[in-house]
Amino acid sequence: MAGCARGSARAVLAFLLAPALVALLVAPARGRGGRGHGDWGAAELLPPRENAALVARFVTNVCDWGALATISTQEGVRGRPFADVLSLSDGPPSKGSGVPYFYLSPMQQSVGNLKENPYATLTMSLAETSFCRKYGFDPQSPLCAHIILSGTVIKVSEAEMDVAKNSLFIRHPEMKTWPSSHNWFFAKLNITNIWVLDYFGGPKIVTPEEYYNATFQ
């Protein structure tokens, strides 16, 4: 009888704890990107999809990383597309400039590719935030808003150095401790083309002028 009672108690306890354990497992990880931006309430902040330029600025600002595609210079895959995940920032939360800044090292394969061909394409998605999980949107669904920015990756000028540094270090404080022997430098994507996918019917094209002129708060 005692054994049965203990078994029943364990079963009841497991039943009561199951929802909490599931919630813990599927909850967005805090601290991703250094400041917990993956937990932002993007659903409440997402601009109306009629304003594609503002949607693009919003996605750029809430995303801490993206996939940058370059043209490979590596033996065996030379001339083929080569994508890598890079941390980025366009500035403090809700105060972004729209310029994606990077902290790069010559040791990175993507940097070697960019030396030969500076053209690149960057993709960022709200799948990085809690928005798509909250509404059950698959990362590939256009309802899980994502943007594609194309242009050239260039080193920032001395005049822009402090802006790039502050933009990145406020979102990625770990960068301050990365080994100086890797010769890190600040770079940015000089945007020439923008596509926004936030609904069905294909991407919306936004010009750089529309993108940078969008009033973002």
Query: What is the residue-level pLDDT of the chain in tens, covering all 217 positions?
Result: 444 444 554 444 344 433 433 332 233 333 334 444 444 444 457 888 899 999 999 999 999 999 999 999 999 999 999 999 999 999 998 899 999 999 999 999 999 999 999 999 999 999 999 999 999 999 999 999 999 999 999 999 999 999 999 999 999 999 999 999 999 999 999 999 999 999 999 999 999 999 999 986 6
Quote the tokens at residue 181.
């022997």
Can you give the pLDDT at residue 215?
84
Residues 6+ apart with CB under 8 A from 193: 149, 150, 151, 205, 208
Return the pLDDT at 8: 53
Please give the model's pTM, rounded to 2 decimal places: 0.80
Radius of gyration of the CA atoms of the chain, in A:
21
CA–CA separation, 151 vs 99, rounded Å? Answer: 12
| 42 touches 130 (CB < 8 A) | yes
pLDDT of residue 207: 98
